[in-house]
Amino acid sequence: MDAFGPFPPDCPDYTVGLAISGGADSLALAWLARGWRRHVVAFVVDHGLRESAADEARQTIRTLASFGVSAHLLTLQGLRRDARLQEAARSARYAALIEACVSFGCLDLMVAHHADDQIETVAMRSAAASGPAGLAGMAASRELSGIRLLRPLLCVRRDRLRATLDAHGIRWIEDPSNDNRRFERVRFRQDLSDADGLKLWTQANAFGGLRDERAASQVRVLVTDVLWHPSGFFIFPQKLPPADLLATLWRVISGRAYVPGVDVIQKLLEGPGAVTLHGVLLTRTSPWGWILVREPAAVGKSIRATSDGAWDGRWRLAHAAGTSIEGCTIAAIGTAAAAWARDVPGVVRRSLPALWRDGRLEAIPDICRLRGGNFRRVSFQWSGSHRASEGSFWRHDPFSTGKCGWRL
């Protein structure tokens, strides 16, 4: 775990989350994590895809308790049993895990991906003609929305994890889908030879090293040439960053799960002026320089005003003191922005959230200082890939390597 550190003291104020399925890999992770520090909490997901799933989840919680790990059950509902079942289950599982981590105050979530998982991942990406980024496989550390995902077992083979459980008398649950050749990963798992696996593992390490070097270089650019504004946009005062870093920042603003292709970004940059992609606008405006911002025409539809949902996948209602939100909706300010703040470019103002009631602007966000208009103010918190902080400008490292730049 030293590679991911330093960590705060082992105390109740800093609990590390564990994603536990009940299989051998995740139970081995839990057992090892409990030996590393006392204050860990396991989240056991009942995906409801098998009749025995609920009983298996309860059994897993009992197993975790036997070696001192407290656990909480998360239940998934409404998964469709079709060809994309595993992908849908994975997305729903991560969404539930992230929400649980935020609720419990966990900044880090450990998952049990191991060396064999890495080999299978690289094999599938190689078959799909992935480039160097895909062939690097899974990263040992990755930032998600509000948490850091850690994979401390990527250098450990599956057999060693099972041997660890056997040595300590810990029983695990076998998921029959792990042998179902209907799924692509299972086919690769069963068909790969040891020699092929070693070759793919070596390849992943080589490309992974290049990825780490590139990330360190990008952090240096972020520290010197990129600003993040709490209104939810990036500023490039001097010049545009390299295309691969710009693609990463593009994903932050768009809220999409994946980074756009570097070749696509590079082609966009060859144009003469402003460009749009995935609901994100890159444009130049005085006196800011280049800015990367949500395209006003692409923002999400209105939602009921609560503290639960994220409007446009980017903003949550954080505080509405003195303002009743009953019967209100959250929607873009749009052209109503012209009546108030001048602290940010107009294209930014039009894509910010506000409270509306019966088609009338009820309250504006307090992200920008008010310079006109008799409106109440309400606080919104950035809830996209990276959270905004209070204040005017601040620098942010979306890679959060722990070695370069800041982790905020």
Do residues 3 and 148 make contact, with C-beta atoms less than 8 angstroms apart? no
Highest mean pLDDT among 108-122, 223-237, 261-275, 318-332: 108-122
**Mean pLDDT in residue range 28-46:** 95
**Mean pLDDT in residue range 253-262:** 83
Topology of 2-207 in CATH? Rossmann fold (3.40.50)
Q: Which two tokens stand for residue 206?
A: 């080589």
Q: Is the pLDDT of residue 371 over 60?
A: no
**What's the pLDDT at 375?**
66
Binding residue per annotation — 310?
no
Tell me how far CA of residue 342 lies from CA of 38, 269, 290, 349, 355, in angstroms.
50, 28, 18, 8, 19
**Residue where the block lists tokens 């009338």:** 360
Mean pLDDT estimate for the chain? 82
Binding residue per annotation — 385?
no
Q: Is the pLDDT of residue 161 over 50?
A: yes
d(CA 47, CA 96): 10
Among the ranges given (252-256, 272-276, 308-312), the one the predictor scored with the smallest mean pLDDT: 308-312
**What's the pLDDT at 388?**
33
pLDDT in tens, 61-80: 999 999 999 999 998 876 66
Q: In what order do the strands lie in the sheet with 353-357?
A: 303-304, 329-332, 353-357, 360-365, 376-382, 315-319
Binding residue per annotation — 302?
no
Nearest alpha carbon to residue 250 among 279, 222, 210, 212: 279
**What's the pLDDT at 227?**
92
Name which residue leads in pLDDT, 271 or 339: 271
Do residues 340 and 364 make contact, with C-beta atoms less than 8 angstroms apart? yes
Nearest alpha carbon to residue 77 among 87, 92, 64, 58: 92
Q: How confident is the model at residue 282 (pLDDT cuts 50, 70, 90)?
A: very high
Among the ranges given (144-148, 156-160, 312-316, 329-333), the one the predictor scored with the smallest mean pLDDT: 144-148
% of the chain beyond a pLDDT of 90: 32
**What's the pLDDT at 109?**
97
Binding residue per annotation — 23?
yes
pTM: 0.69
Binding residue per annotation — 24?
yes
**What's the pLDDT at 79?**
61
**What's the pLDDT at 378?**
81
Q: Is the pLDDT of residue 313 over 50?
A: yes
Binding residue per annotation — 297?
no
pLDDT in tens, 335-354: 765 555 567 788 888 888 88
Instruction: Burial-class residue 71 by CB neighbours within 10 Å (0-12, 13-18, 19+).
Output: buried
